[in-house]
Structure 1
Amino acid sequence: MGENLYSVNFRYGRRGANLKEGTKTDTAVPLTQAEKVFDKLVAEKVKKGYREVGSDAPSQPDAAPAATREEAILNNIAAGGSPKWPLERAIWRAGELKIAEAGPGLINLIVTGEGLRDYCIAWSLGWCGGESSVEALTRLYRNPASAEFVARIAFEGMRSLADEADRSRLQFEIIELLPPHLRELVTNGNAEAFSAALKIYLDSQDSSRFAVLDRLYQIDSECARSGLLDILKTAPLQPNYFKQIRHIFKMAEYRLDAEVFAIIARRFEDEKAMYRRNHYGVRIPGDDYAYWSNSEWVYNEKTNECKEVETNELLNEMQSPNARIAYSSNTREYLLRRVWRTLKQLGEEGDADYANMAASILLQYVDSDAEEVVRNPHYQWDSSTYTYVVSHAVEWDIFAGYLTFNRILYENSPRYVYFPNTEAWRCREGYKPGDPEPEVREKAFPEIWEQNPDRLLQLVLESNCRSVHHFAVKALKSCPYFLAEIDVSTIVKIIDSPYEITAEFGCNLAVQNQYNRYPEHREVILAIVNCVFPSGRESACSWLEEQRDRILKDSELIATLITSLYEDVREFARRILSNVAMSDGTAKVLIGRIIAHLLAFEATDIYPTQTSILAGEIAETLLWCFPDRLRRLGLGVILDLLKHPIAQIQEFGANILLNHEIPAVDLPPELIESLIASPYEPMSLRSSKAMFDRPCCGIDRPYSTPTRTPQASSSPTL
């Protein structure tokens, strides 16, 4: 740090968990002072039960520190708190650790302090459990003197400890409190009608109506939940809505309701604060001249001095039932910290619910949420050239602004870092967005993910975010026993992923399980031959090549190859079809499948240009491989091709007609009109001219002319 100057940095935590780190010296200090700081810090940690890594101290049972900790909490509760550790904090910690022995002491403390103490007691009793806890929570919930926020958490505690019968009774009680028309719809279970009625009911300036959202979450029936989720995903975090959404967030946190918790957590990331509070007060949103002050200056005539006096203007506004402000920048920052605090606590306890909650949050993000990479160069003066030159640059990657997302995926990453009181994760020095990702485990609490690989598999199957797929695939590779149990249908879904890393992972699973034999594993091979992983497609084609004679009898498989989105697969199909004899029955079914596929094309599929190119290649393959059979194609099918909006498919129909066995003079007028009326001018002119240049008598044609003129059919006929 400098000559004879030192700093004291520390890392501590549970074995196997992420270590907490920091510094005790903001600036470098002399050795004597640094040693004092160091010795004091070590003494504090040892006193709390920590041991130095690699120390010669005799090992103690792992349960000893935990027992000492629980005993300290129980003693603190019995003593009514201490100056260093407030009673409410000890009460809360007893619930976090689920100390059942704390129940009786907590019950004795009910109504011995302010509402906050009762809130903490109700919160903890729901985790500590026990029959006496249910009775105490019931009294708190039904006591008219209990504050609304105390009654709300008491209900959650009762619900968590209740059996199915008691939960049903609680649900019925809350349903009875709903407005009559909403109560009827919830009871009948009409989710669509209920959702519409709920939105109409909330389309009001009456703030008292919004309390219904709390009740709906307390009911939590399928119908009520469906309507509530619609609101949670779209309602603005502004007055009337925000208060209830915050209540529901805390209830979801208590229940470990991953779906609701994740939806609201994502809303906190996305929606900017309604206002920013400073020392002076708050400017009223939407009005540049209105201001609520925290204080005002009062002139004292006797002392001839001005004195700053606190006002209740802002506080009164915030507590008003018709408040015009909500969701400040401070509140948003607090809630974002709380989201990670909840996850982190679960992770540090090794709780499987960490993986469940974190997976639900990751599923909220999709590729379209990514933003542009931001690069902020820093300059310094170069005296040799008399110019400013770039000394270094700070960069932010595409998902940098999503704090919780990055916490979950990159808490231990060597390429990203988060600095407190900043708004985004930045790239570490030496890493640039787009560089190869490291092989190390970057995620928070990797052991929990590996102990719960079903959540990783859920991400692979359901996520629409590339970064999440990279994370989940890398983590799943550390779970060989779980991978060995994945069934065939799930492997097919993995192979069908639009992300190359996931498709490659699925292909490797198929090979490892020897799912590469036709026809036993036809479904898997079909998935691989049409996956986004090029090497996988190449392997699948080689497997099929080995069974050429057998696959030529499989019209569905051949049709899949010919209509593949990938040029290498279509080329493989043309190659195996060249110079082979296919039975008339198989060829007829195959042509029918492919033409039906073409007719289903829309100009908006994939990309318009690519759709046209694909249609043209498929048509070219049919004309090249089945010219004789196409000459006998039903006129109704040809008419459908000529009427198709894609020019290449119209041209395909015209080419079939030009070489058809039926003479031009015997063609139905509707076919000729369709050719002439084609909006695709080159095809219309060329095909019309060629049509009238065709020979009219059977002697000039290799096939005999039918004696009866066939009519165009409305249904495809081969």
Structure 2
Amino acid sequence: MIPEPVRLHNPTGPDRVAVVSAAEAWGTPGSFHVLVARGPRAGKLGMGTTYGPFTVEELADRFAEVVAALGLELFAEAGRSLLIDALLDARPQVRARAAARLGWRRDRGAVGPLIAALASAEGETCALLDALGAIGDPVAIPAVRPFAGRKLLSRRRSAVEALRLLGDLEGLAEHADRIRATLPEPLLTALDAIDPDDPRPGAEDAIVSVFPSVEDQYRGLALDTLYELGTPVAVAAIRAVLPGLRFDRVYHWRYLKSIYKRSMLRHDAVTFGLLSHAIEARGRQTKGVAASVKSGLDGGVHHTRIFARPTQRYLRRLAWRYLRNLARHRPDRYAAAAAEALVPYGPEDAREPSGLYGAFADCYLLNRILHNQGDRLVLDHSRLSFRWRDADSFRAPADRREEAFPDRWDAHPRAYLRLLGSSRLPSVHAFALRAVEERHRDILGDASVEELLPMLRAPHEPTVRLGLDELRRRFDPEHPDLLLVDRLIADQIPEARELARSWLRESSPLWTRDAEWVVLFTTSGDPDLSMLAAGLAADRLKSDPGLRRILSARLLDLFRQPEAQPGSLDAYLLIARDALLDDLDEQLDLDTLIHLILTGPPQAQALGGDLLARRPEAVEKLGLEGLSQLANHEIAAVRAATHALLRLAVDRFRDDPGPLLMLVESDWPDTRVVAFGLLRDGLGPDVLGPPGLMGLLDSNRVDVQDVARVLVLRHVDRFDPVELVPRLVEHPHPNMRRFALDLVIDHLPDGAEALDRLSWFFRAALFDLRPERPVKRRIINFLRDRGLRDPFQARVAAELLGDFARSATRSDADRALHAVVSILIAHPDTPSDVSIGHSAGGVA
């Protein structure tokens, strides 16, 4: 970076003014001269002296040496004497402004006068302390230390931050011991339980989690105390908690304002950016509230407004004033601070456009940073809102830059990477993208993966494309960065994972040679990618028993853990089934396998089922009761394995068919099918006996009833239909009633006694209020046929048919009468209310 010109003044010498500057050496690109111009006044400087040329790396040191040499001649920065004289002014506000300007200049020659002014300071005490801290000369430590113990928050704050900048570790440690005791108990306990200097993301979670337990009125003070401690964990916790606080509450706002001022003194760009945006955003929601507040200066209670509009406007201007001073006096810090101020802006900050007021007209700091050097926007000072100058101003110029201090951005272009990775506004992305593509393309090559990956989730498609292109450019399939692949696999960004998949395919000839990478990629945590890796490494798995053993052991570890989310282990189950069953079978004893089936996640249970089918010894281990339980398992693979074991154990059911009879009532159709097969073909009716068959007939399941009917009909000679029919008729399912009718018609023994014993059945069927006509016709035909056989059955049949004929509908009555007549013709002596007459030439 080329140093800024320095103006020096010597009130006693012949040359009172000197200007030191740097410029590129003519005809020697990349080299620079240091130029010194001197004269009696600014308008009359001589040609001066030229030093160099110097390389860009040594330019800053040589420039500083020239300035120091002029200091030996009693030259000092221009204006110092006036500012030092101003420290003696009668007005405190003049003294405070002079101290602030001396602090920004970081002129060590001003330390003595500042310390002297501190002894008699009044309202300007904080400004003097801030200036001493900004200059950073340890000589000031003894003068600053006493103020770190002051009760007044503003003075204590300035003193502590000054000690931090002065590097007074001892004084800071003593102060930290004092203020730690003021923290609420939950926060102090959480802070003591962790390493305060742990910089890792998430280390602050312990503090954040207990913060809600702190009483609301003490939360602001607790946060300011944590920020005063200044450890990485404490600062990270504050940034996480700040968005949830109310700015218009007195016991919040006093300390939020304190943190805000500390962030500027400390040059903590991230906290400064968060609070600058929060003050602006909350200001759109509230005008503040009235409250009675005790003053730290006089101890009196004053009625005032908290977070009122004047306060909001003052702090919004202060944010820009701070950035402007950074650009002028600490140019190396400006770009980073400006980037952090832009990052918190998002779509929620937009308003409804109105006339020349655009969507982001109220975003004061955003417009200051991005458009301050242009002339398209006009500031409404009373509202701190920007409007377009005219309708033609909506279009951004293509040939000039509008951002404030563009040379500061160019000197530190890595700030653009921060915007591309974290900003949520497309307009900010367009600003940073234009700078990178036109002037600073080389910073992408120096960017870390942590800086490139966030670009893939940007709300601006060209930014996403730029990040992807840079990552692709870096990847060499012949020399793959597999650590980078692994990081992308674990990323939450879909584009990153898709890029990792493509790299995995391209570099598979190399990583599949390494067992550690094969195991890592096939157990990546991304099921789809694990399947891809397994497919790419399939040949290696087939030919490498050692690798299979390592991978199977790793998969077993995964299967013993609960699923992170439903389906997350599906890919590992497929890998295990395709390539590792033999190896897994070797590593699991029977007890462990059964435990995996009973307690593992669904995929582990399915895998256990596959392996259980290979273990005939499990029949002895589980017994009939255990097999029956597993046959009703919800995992199909477990049931399938159990079915195979049940077939091996069929002889055991001969002594105790009870479990098998329970399995035919299973909720799982495949288990019932196996049980049916064993009952029908494996055991047969001899083992079941009539009681067992009757138990099957009692089932409410149609498929069980069908099997029972087949078995009964196959061995109908073992049953007495006269005893069986009543039981079937009592069954609620219509299938059994139809089966009862089939048994009666097809298997009722001949003779009047059997027919008479089932007369109730025939009556119930014939006189049913909701009859089935085919059933009635079958019974009528059956009774007619039985009545024709002999006089004894004719009597029973004629009585039943006659009773039915008197109450039935005409069609059924006619059919019943015809049946009776047929019986009477065959057996004329059969008693019946129906008689046959010939007088009319027909039946009466």
TM-score, with length taken from structure 2: 0.49
Which secondary structure state, in structure 1, belongs to the residue aligned with residue 81 of structure 2? helix
Cα deviations by residue, 1:487-539 (Å, 9 ceiling, x for unpaired): xxx54895598738888767655655554336x64333444567724773464
In the alignment, what sits opposite 2:263?
Answer: 252
For 1:483 and 1:675, the matched residues in 2 are separated by: 61
* C-alpha RMSD of matched pairs (Å): 6.6
Higher helix share: 2
Give unpaired runs (5+ residues) of structure 2.
6-18, 20-33, 44-66, 197-205, 640-666, 680-844
For 2:284 and 2:393, the matched residues in 1 are separated by: 32
Change (3 A) 1:645 1:262: same
Q: How many residues were matched structurally?
A: 564
The one-letter code matched in structure 2 to 1:499 is: R
In the alignment, what sits opposite 2:824?
Answer: none
Pick from 499, 510, 515 the counterpart of residue 457 of structure 2.
499
Cα deviations by residue, 1:324-344 (Å, 9 ceiling, x for unpaired): 852223323322332333233
> By how many angstroms is 1:556 displaced?
1.0
Pick from 516, 519, 532 the counterpart of residue 556 of structure 1.
519
The one-letter code matched in structure 2 to 1:587 is: R
Pick from 97, 104, 127 the counterpart of residue 134 of structure 2.
127
Does residue 590 (structure 1) correspond to residue 544 (structure 2)? The answer is no
Does residue 347 (structure 1) correspond to residue 327 (structure 2)? The answer is yes
The one-letter code matched in structure 1 to 2:632 is: I
For 1:521 and 1:445, the matched residues in 2 are separated by: 39
Change (3 A) 1:492 1:15: closer
> By how many angstroms is 1:656 displaced?
2.7
Cα deviations by residue, 1:295-323 (Å, 9 ceiling, x for unpaired): xxxxxxxxxxxxxxxxxx9999x985586
Change (3 A) 1:150 1:334: closer
Identity over aligned pairs, percent: 17
> By how many angstroms is 1:155 displaced?
1.9
In the alignment, what sits opposite 2:97?
Answer: 89
In the alignment, what sits opposite 1:688?
Answer: 671
In the alignment, what sits opposite 1:676?
Answer: 632
Contact 1:217 1:225 in 2 (8 A): yes
Contact 2:145 2:171 in 1 (8 A): no
Contact 2:276 2:319 in 1 (8 A): yes
Give unpaired runs (5+ residues) of structure 1.
1-13, 18-48, 50-58, 278-282, 286-291, 293-312, 379-392, 433-437, 606-610, 697-718
Does residue 517 (structure 1) correspond to residue 528 (structure 2)? The answer is no
Change (3 A) 1:681 1:376: farther
In the alignment, what sits opposite 1:155?
Answer: 159
Contact 1:675 1:687 in 2 (8 A): no
Contact 2:118 2:125 in 1 (8 A): yes
The one-letter code matched in structure 1 to 2:104 is: E
> By how many angstroms is 1:602 displaced?
3.2
Contact 2:180 2:188 in 1 (8 A): no
For 1:189 and 1:616, the matched residues in 2 are separated by: 41
In the alignment, what sits opposite 1:307?
Answer: none
Change (3 A) 1:314 1:257: closer
For 1:138 and 1:695, the matched residues in 2 are separated by: 93
Greater length-normalized contact order (CA 8 Å, ≥ 6 residues apart): 1
In the alignment, what sits opposite 2:308?
Answer: 328
> By how many angstroms is 1:246 displaced?
2.0
Counterparts of 1:414-433 in structure 2, within 5 Å, are: none
For 2:455 and 2:627, the matched residues in 1 are separated by: 43
Which secondary structure state, in structure 2, belongs to the residue aligned with residue 276 of structure 1? coil
The one-letter code matched in structure 1 to 2:478 is: R
Structure with greater Cα Rg = 2
For 1:651 and 1:414, the matched residues in 2 are separated by: 71
Contact 2:103 2:134 in 1 (8 A): yes
For 1:595 and 1:401, the matched residues in 2 are separated by: 58
Pick from 506, 509, 521 the counterpart of residue 543 of structure 1.
506
For 1:595 and 1:120, the matched residues in 2 are separated by: 66
The one-letter code matched in structure 1 to 2:634 is: S
Contact 2:111 2:137 in 1 (8 A): yes
For 2:562 and 2:322, the matched residues in 1 are separated by: 49
Counterparts of 1:301-700 in structure 2, within 5 Å, are: 321=301, 325-349=305-329, 351-358=331-338, 371=348, 396=359, 404=365, 448=408, 451-452=411-412, 491=449, 499=457, 512=473, 515-517=476-478, 521-527=481-487, 532-533=495-496, 536-537=499-500, 539-547=502-510, 550=513, 555-557=518-520, 559-560=522-523, 563-565=526-528, 570=531, 573-574=534-535, 577=538, 581-594=542-555, 596-597=557-558, 600=561, 602=563, 605=565, 611-612=566-567, 615-616=569-570, 619-620=573-574, 622-623=576-577, 634=588, 636-637=592-593, 640=596, 649=603, 652-653=606-607, 656=610, 660=614, 662=616, 668=622, 673-674=629-630, 676-678=632-634, 685=668, 688=671
For 2:496 and 2:212, the matched residues in 1 are separated by: 49
Which secondary structure state, in structure 1, belongs to the residue aligned with residue 563 of structure 2? coil
The one-letter code matched in structure 1 to 2:495 is: V
For 2:354 and 2:636, the matched residues in 1 are separated by: 53
Which secondary structure state, in structure 1, belongs to the residue aligned with residue 322 of structure 2? helix
For 2:287 and 2:456, the matched residues in 1 are separated by: 42
TM-score, with length taken from structure 1: 0.55
> By how many angstroms is 1:581 displaced?
3.8
In the alignment, what sits opposite 2:171?
Answer: 169
Contact 2:379 2:385 in 1 (8 A): yes
Which secondary structure state, in structure 1, belongs to the residue aligned with residue 314 of structure 2? helix
For 2:213 and 2:570, the matched residues in 1 are separated by: 54
Change (3 A) 1:650 1:493: farther
Which secondary structure state, in structure 1, belongs to the residue aligned with residue 477 of structure 2? coil
